[in-house]
Structure 1
């Protein structure tokens, strides 16, 4: 049954655009609304209670837009807020951590997996727990990369500064003989070429956000709420809590045929 309501995507900033991009590719008939809390990004260093509050504020903003599904396209928010939000909403809610761990376990041959993420995601141990629950013998090495998100948010992800910071940050992982590395933050795929170059071609990079869209697709079918070819020109709306111009500049560089103009969103504190 055709359901024209949009799918909502929330993130601490522009990183979730990597998930939205994959959704547009895999789910070409779905209407999409994206909200990035760029004014308060990054979420990684913030206390869990604050991340939960901010995630609820973004969720409530999108609920007013009558979304049919919520995708928490932020690893930090998924780690601390997913279960609470899932329990209280009547629509399906999807996070980015479990799909990423499943893909990593499928990919690894040596059972040596690395995880990079924000301080909040790494501190929560969500990825490590999820990996060990499914495969107790797997070796897991986690590394917080607090400088990566600001590089992306300032649209510097292709700069020489980015290459230097990524190279220096990932140095401890190069000695760990990993064959798989989870990009445990949706901002990180924008740095993918640099990360791949530093880690070497023998390390398979897992984009948690891209893996999440497979789960979104499955749930759309399961709940019979998918859109089809009857909706050949789906709508796309983008909201940001800070500068729409900077958001548009990054979106134009990352999304194919980005014609939209981001709108400013004011979030209500609880």
Structure 2
């Protein structure tokens, strides 16, 4: 008689320079309920966006190694800046699967448009839940589909989303929105000032990219602003399909987990532990808003400079 397959509860590390990555964790919890999560917010060294590529890579790699040392079997880089500037270095430094937030967001945008030209009769080639071009094959042509990306200045300067979207045959425009993160962290997600700032950013962006059909939220803080963004788009008369890169990353992670941990125990409730490199009280206060539930305990650690 064959023995029943032993179930497994993988340990998933989630890393961000601060609090925004908690929106990724919030999306992960219902999708992969049987996992144990270790979240690290490198709050002592944020913002990453003002640092050099070398410094960002050093910070991100040290944080990633810490999570691996704590038992992470899969790592989610829930930080747009770290993904854009240091994903290859992180992947090379760890012997476990690593996924960032840029590619999943780009693929979610692809799914809102024309997936493939039906006349070419091609089937998508998948790896880790993402569409990839086969060797020697050009990316599918979806040039008529235009994606507008809202992101931080550092992410926009990296052009990571433009490169990812263009590789999928999509047109892309990026808009830096430096005021949105501090507004979210101030708790002003439903405030007239935030609405006015969004109106300015979106009007400027859509003046430059009037053909945009999809709006990609390229910062993990921005899901908290989605109701305000929808309200603003309606007010200026330019509705768009909105893609939440945090949710897209969670779905891509779920596909990766299904591939690497096929015997996942889905009957267990998720468990989690939080680490921060500075200001536990602030992490608990802000983190609860991002996670959508109380962050009861946070462990303070020192990763150096």
- TM-score normalized by structure 1? 0.90
Partner of 2:243: 206
Q: 5 Å matches for 1:154-169?
A: 154-169=186-201
2:51 counterpart of 1:46: yes
TM-superposed deviation, 1:61: 1.9
Partner of 2:21: 16
Of structures 1 and 2, the larger Rg is shown by 2
TM-superposed deviation, 1:58: 1.3
Contact 1:122 1:142 in 2 (8 A): yes
Contact 2:65 2:94 in 1 (8 A): no
Partner of 1:151: 183
Q: Per the alignment, do residues 65 and 108 of structure 1 end up closer, same or farther by CA in structure 2, a change over 3 Å counting?
A: same
Q: 2:163 aligns with which of 129, 132, 137?
A: 129
* Total equivalences in the alignment: 266
Contact 2:258 2:264 in 1 (8 A): no
Q: CA RMSD in A?
A: 2.0
- TM-score normalized by structure 2? 0.80
TM-superposed deviation, 1:225: 6.2
Q: What secondary structure, in the 3-state scheme, does the structure 2 residue paired with 1:140 have?
A: strand
Q: What secondary structure, in the 3-state scheme, does the structure 2 residue paired with 1:209 have?
A: helix
Q: What secondary structure, in the 3-state scheme, does the structure 2 residue paired with 1:198 have?
A: helix
Q: 1:100 aligns with which of 96, 105, 126?
A: 105
Taking the aligned partners of 1:251 and 1:53, their CA distance within structure 2 comes to 25
Q: What secondary structure, in the 3-state scheme, does the structure 2 residue paired with 1:205 have?
A: strand
2:73 counterpart of 1:36: no
Taking the aligned partners of 2:303 and 2:108, their CA distance within structure 1 comes to 34
Taking the aligned partners of 1:214 and 1:49, their CA distance within structure 2 comes to 30
2:298 counterpart of 1:262: yes
Q: 5 Å matches for 1:230-249?
A: 232-249=268-285
Runs of 5+ consecutive residues of structure 1 not aligned to the other structure = none
Contact 2:165 2:171 in 1 (8 A): no
Runs of 5+ consecutive residues of structure 2 not aligned to the other structure = 1-5, 115-143
Contact 1:116 1:142 in 2 (8 A): yes
Q: Per the alignment, do residues 45 and 106 of structure 1 end up closer, same or farther by CA in structure 2, a change over 3 Å counting?
A: same
2:223 counterpart of 1:189: yes
Q: Per the alignment, do residues 250 and 206 of structure 1 end up closer, same or farther by CA in structure 2, a change over 3 Å counting?
A: same
Q: 2:154 aligns with which of 120, 133, 152?
A: 120
TM-superposed deviation, 1:167: 2.3
TM-superposed deviation, 1:108: 3.4
Q: Per the alignment, do residues 53 and 25 of structure 1 end up closer, same or farther by CA in structure 2, a change over 3 Å counting?
A: same
Q: What secondary structure, in the 3-state scheme, does the structure 2 residue paired with 1:44 have?
A: helix
Partner of 1:2: 7
Q: Per the alignment, do residues 18 and 259 of structure 1 end up closer, same or farther by CA in structure 2, a change over 3 Å counting?
A: closer
TM-superposed deviation, 1:218: 1.5
Taking the aligned partners of 2:29 and 2:191, their CA distance within structure 1 comes to 27
Q: Per the alignment, do residues 171 and 202 of structure 1 end up closer, same or farther by CA in structure 2, a change over 3 Å counting?
A: closer
